[in-house]
Structure 1
Amino acid sequence: MELTGAQIVIECLKEQGVDTVFGFPGGAILNVYDELYKHRDEITHYLTSHEQGASHAADGYARATGKVGVCFATSGPGATNMVTGIATAYMDSIPVVMITCNVGLNLLGKDSFQEIDILGITMPVTKYNFIVKDVTKLADVIRRAFRIAQTGRPGPVVIDITKNVTATKTEYTYKKPEPILPDASVINEIDVEKAVTMIAHSKRPFVFVGGGVTLANASEELRRFVKKIDAPVADSLMGKGAFDGTSDAYVGMLGMHGTKAANYGLNQSDLIIVVGSRFSDRVIGNPKTFGNKAQILQIDVDASEINKNIVVTHCIAGDAKLVLRKLSAQLNQMEHNEWMQYINELKTRYPLTYPKDRLTGPQIVETIYEMTHGDAVICTEVGQHQMWAAQFYKYDAPRKFISSGGLGTMGYGLGASIGAKVACPEKTVINIAGDGCFRMNFNELLTASKYNIPIIEVIFNNSVLGMVRQWQTLFYERRYSSTILDGDFDYARIAEACGCRGMNVTNKEELTEALKEALSADGPVVINCFIDCDDKVWPMVAPGASISEAFSEEDMIRK
């Protein structure tokens, strides 16, 4: 049948099983929105307050479900407003398809009104991007985009469509998407056999888990593998929940704000098995000293990540789910009682602690954990609150922690929490934010209010840019340049003005009552928690130092 380009966009989305889109309309994409209106019973559109909020919502939707998130924007500033969201998804390998429309083909290259080369702008931060100037190619491009976003190492794909294409007709035929399965053919069996030998000879194996395990839906395979080799497990920020954070084998997060047990334990291992992690600088500290007493085995679906930041002893390129299955099948049951006892002693000797005499970030997170029984989707912005959420909430399953890791995008969490709640309406979704981040994105409270999306926003209000201030205190001789948030703003009243319930709390008792009310509310709630401006995230590794040099406040006092 003959359809316009705009109709083809909608039909192709339906082919892919898309029932939710986040976006903001404009002139160039108007034909698509007009067609979307006619299919509003099949595809629900959420109008965000800003295109960046739409991109983060699509990202949060994807992280919460494993499905492709979709968002729309118009040409020019509409498209450029999504660039931060595209880069956020790219750095964390999140499958998102972002559809923009550009000016008509006859106006391209003429500095026309709201014309922008969005392909040129996004090329460094997309897995792939397209511009469609011929309507006969549109359907195939959309199908390719969804497949590219999901195969191998996932990532964002941008499709830019000229406006004339959305109005032009061509023949369209429905095409059922082919199932996307991990590619077993790329896994080298000789590499697997060598890895099995390395693991079998190891006396002190240590497993480090990244976000690739979640992306590969390999958590169950990881659990069986860890049980088989009897090893401790640490995770990265993106790896939260990929391995059960309540397990006795779990030692905490690794890296700059990781636990001492994780950082010290890795330093004493003889084999570090890295699954689905790219060795971020915030994880490894000084690359010259990272794991220098051990052999390193890296498992990653993206061969370009192997030997990029850390030169490893051996590697297996392939999907984590398939590789872990193969390894487990070829390994005998192992026991490392002495090694595991040593790790448990580290955990006992170096627990995460915080002051109990006042309301603090860790206390807020632990209270949220207690009141949600560990069964919530926790989104975060970026900063101290993000680290506390990673340290003090126990994530027992994947897709329960949603945060910007690679790009570190302040303003990410609120949009992401909206996307996560839309994707998982049956789950409690809480966004943990700093007051600096809240200032960047509270306009999206209008989105939550408009659609009555019952998210809970918990603000850690210390009247400063907390993480930057922490660095200024420790490394810049307390020169607090532009990190104090002047002004007596009542964020609870701002929330009320946006149509949400707003509450201020100053102690644990007030927090408990506020959370109790928020958890039973049928609309969005903002809880503004006042904490001290000089509370810090501990432990910490100084920039460029070895992770074995992690220090706490007590260590500084002793010096």
Structure 2
Amino acid sequence: MTTPSPSPRLAGHLLVECLIAQGVKDVFGVPGESYLAVLDGFHVHADAIRFVVNRQEGGAAYMAEAVGKLTGKPGVCFVTRGPGATNASIGVHTAFQDSTPMVLFVGDVASDTRDREAFQEVDFSAFFGPSTKGMAKRVERIDDAARIPEAVARAFMTAQSGRPGPVVVVLPEDMLTQAVPDALKALPALNPPQAWSDPGSLRSLRQMLLQARQPLVVAGGSGWTPQATSALHRFAENWQLPVANAFRFQDLFDNRHPQYAGDMGLGTDPGLRRRVSEADLLLVIGARMGEATTAGYTLLDVPVPKQTLVHIHVDAAELGRVYQPALSIQASMANAAKSLEGLTAPPDVPWAEWTASAHADYLASLNGAAAAKVCEGTLDMAAIIRTLSETLPPDAVISNGAGNFATWLHRFFQYRSLSQGLKIQLAPTNGAMGYGVPAGIAAALTTGRPVVTLTGDGDFLMNGQELATAVQHGVKTHVVVLLNNSSYGTIRMHQERAYPTHVLASDLRNPDFCALAKAYGYEAEKIEETSGFAPALARAMARRGGTLIELTFDVQALTTRQTLSGIRDAKGH
């Protein structure tokens, strides 16, 4: 008697099973007819994996990128061909520049219509272009359904290995409807390889530290774990080193620590800029030392800094890419931090006063008196951010998009460290507008932790529609603090500096944000006095669901240090 062969199932179902095997719990996307078989697979396996339906592919990609930041594992996004993929490209670019693990699946045209400029057809290898100047680490097309397990496992490994980043997997529509045997199984998730610091380089680093008089540590980049950041703290404490954080990686070192020196980013404190210039040893751990962190590549001389530069990074291609280090060490952050923690420190160091003064400079930058003058006649943003910093629970996530509004958060919010076990900062180092709202929603939906998003009026309107996604999928506590100055403030600032009084395209006529939020299903209230913010925040945090708090803000307060009038006066207008 013949034994019946296993009943076939759709390739789209197998793809979903592969995601489950990789440990994926939530995926984000906008449905498309090009991958209906995958959507059917999500329906079949709805008890094991959730498809979060978004309102626009850019928001979906941002949400996947945020999950990658929060977990260190690839966030997953599904979009359809052509317009869907191009909309999602902003999230891929963010993941690439932020070194965030992410996998974007793109439903594609059928194989028999390929290369005819079929409906919505795009050459995704050319568009996402895996290279040092591209948007993805790898772009792969699966033409054979039998190779789905291989391709998915490779995508996840590539996204996490070395310098983390995005991988794009293209799915021809007809391939997804192929029948595959039940014997074809998903491959298990693997841990990516970890590079270790070599002992000789560590000995050289120790000698450099012993010879230094004014050292400074700069920590940044991705790939950090709570254990690694704890080891970083112990290394800094053993050697009494001042530690600054790279642009938008402020949760790598506890901002309340007596050795914290501040963050290097947009609007870096003058005291920290001076300290970077005066340092004789600069130990950069994990950061790429990109344009924002180095103030347009001006804080360090290119290509050879006057400071003795030691650069530790997971990617060999990043070492010496812009700055020529005196010592390069290729290592993952988890292993680099363990190695540094093991370096024996001397009983005394000559830079104790240097470290103390670096922290004193940071504390002075928190003084809101000067910022209050900038805000004169409008809300005191320093006081509002201080309220957030002092009252939010330790596990609260803070997200933001791009714009001058974010400088208030970066300067006055004191981030706790990832060493406490939870990442709390979600911010795009590529300066992508519209990131904060979907990133915050993703954090609230996938972690259940309270989330506060700081956004500007222009920033919010790029992805504010994702509030509907939050409501549909049952967000628990998500608070959006919206600064409304009826302007693209960053552009206005640059216009006033480069073309004084020639204002064009930076003024905004906005909707009623509170009414808009309520239409989506959020609660909302408008605050016009500083004293009203703390009670409004308390009400929002106590409420189950989402809340938008609109802050009316004068365009005069362009930055934490300068007014619009001040910029004009400096130009003689």
Normalising by the residue count of structure 1, what TM-score does the alignment of the two structures yield? 0.92
Structure 1: distance between partners of 2:364 and 2:453: 32
Question: Shift in Å at residue 503 of structure 1?
Answer: 0.9
Matches within 5 A, 1:429-468: 429-453=451-475, 454-468=477-491
Match of 1:404 in 2: 428
**Contact conserved, 1:96 with 1:149, CA < 8 A, in 2?**
yes
Matched, 1:303 2:313: no
Equivalent in the alignment of 2:403: 383
Contact 2:247 2:292 in 1 (8 A): no
Secondary structure in 1 matching 2:42: helix
Match of 1:11 among 14, 17, 29: 17
- Asked whether the equivalents of residues 213 and 275 of structure 1 are also in contact (C-alpha less than 8 Å), the reply is no
Partner of 1:526: 548
1:544 aligns with none
* Aligned amino acid, residue 534 of structure 1: Q
- Residue number among 494, 497, 507 corresponding to 1:471 in the alignment: 494
1:48-67 to 2 correspondence within 5 Å? 48-67=54-73
The residue identity in structure 2 corresponding to 1:83 is S
1:289/1:43 CA distance change after superposition, 3 Å? closer
The 2-side partners of 1:214 and 1:237 are apart by: 15
Q: CA deviation at 1:233?
A: 1.0
Q: Compared with structure 1, are the counterparts of its residues 280 and 150 closer, same or farther at alpha carbon in structure 2 (3 Å cutoff)? A: same
Please give the secondary structure, in 2, of the residue aligned with 1:464: coil
Look up the equivalent residue of 1:461 and give its one-letter code: N
Q: Which range is displaced more, 513-522 or 306-315?
A: 306-315
Structure 1 residue aligned with 2:95, among 89, 96, 99?
A: 89
Separation in structure 1 between the aligned mates of residue 212 and residue 412 of structure 2, nearest angstrom: 31
Q: Would you say the 8 A contact 2:453–2:478 is kept in 1?
A: yes
Relative to structure 1, is the Cα distance of residues 60 and 494 closer, same or farther in structure 2, using a 3 angstrom cutoff?
A: same
Q: How far does the alpha carbon of each residue in 1:145-172 deviate from its partner, in whole angstroms, 9 at most, with x for none? A: 0111111111111111111111112341
Q: For 1:444, give the aligned amino acid.
A: E
Gaps of 5+ in 1: 541-551
CA 1:531 to 1:288, structure 2 compared with 1: closer, same or farther past 3 Å? closer
Amino acid at match of 1:470: M
Q: Partners of 1:228 and 1:249 in 2: how far apart?
A: 11
Alpha-carbon distance in structure 2 between the residues aligned to 1:87 and 1:341: 39
What is the rounded CA distance, in whole Å, between the counterparts of 1:448 and 1:109 in structure 2?
38
- 1:182 deviates by 1.5
- Contact 1:86/1:126, CA 8 A, preserved across alignment: yes
Q: How far, CA to CA, are the matches of 2:236 and 2:218 in structure 1?
A: 11
Please give the per-residue CA displacement for 1:72-104, whole angstroms capped at 9, x wherever unaligned.
111221222111111111110111111111111
| 1:548 corresponding residue in structure 2 | none
* Greater mean alpha carbon deviation, residues 264-273 or residues 356-365: 356-365
Task: Tell me if structure 2 keeps the 8 A contact 1:232–1:250.
Answer: yes
Quote the residue 1:332 is aligned against.
Answer: 345
Q: Tell me the amino acid that sits aligned with residue 179 of structure 1.
A: N
Q: Please name the residue that 2:372 is paired with.
A: 355
Match of 1:222 in 2: 232
Identify if the C-alpha distance between structure 1 residues 289 and 503 changes in structure 2 by more than 3 Å, giving closer, same or farther. closer
Deviations 1:385-424 (A, max 9, x none): 2222111111112321101112x11111111111111221
Pairwise mapping of residues 312-327 of structure 1 onto structure 2 (< 5 A)? 312-327=325-340
**Count of matched residue pairs:** 540
Task: Indicate conservation of the 8 Å contact 2:42/2:49, yes or no.
Answer: yes
Residue by residue over 1:340-382, the C-alpha shift from the partner in whole angstroms, topping out at 9 and shown as x without a partner, is 2432453466554311754133332222222215542100010
Distance in 2 (CA, whole Å) between partners of 1:192 and 1:19 is 40
In the alignment, is the contact (CA less than 8 A) between 2:217 and 2:241 conserved in 1? Answer: yes
Q: Deviation at 1:136?
A: 1.7
**Contact 1:452-1:524 within 8 A present in 2 as well:** no
**Separation in structure 1 between the aligned mates of residue 413 and residue 434 of structure 2, nearest angstrom:** 21
Identity over aligned pairs, percent: 27
Flag the 1:527–1:346 CA change in 2: closer, same or farther, 3 A: closer
Map 1:187-202 → 2, pairs under 5 A: 187-202=197-212
Q: Deviations over 1:1-55 (max 9, x none)?
A: 6432111101101111111111111111111101211111111111111111111
| CA 510–474 in structure 1, closer or farther in 2 if over 3 Å, else same | same
Q: Does 1:485 align with 2:508?
A: yes
Equivalent positions of 1:258-297 (< 5 A) are 258-285=268-295, 287=297, 290=300, 292-297=305-310
Match of 2:162 among 142, 152, 160: 152
- What is the rounded CA distance, in whole Å, between the counterparts of 2:19 and 2:539 in structure 1? 38
SS of the counterpart of 2:165? coil
- Structure 1 counterpart of 2:524: 502
C-alpha distance 247-228 of structure 1, shift in aligned 2 (>3 A): same
Query: Post-superposition shift, 1:281?
Result: 1.4
The one-letter amino acid of 1:310's match is Y
1:21 partner letter: V
Q: Is 1:343 aligned to 2:358, yes or no?
A: yes
Give the partner amino acid of 1:132: I
2:3 is aligned to: none
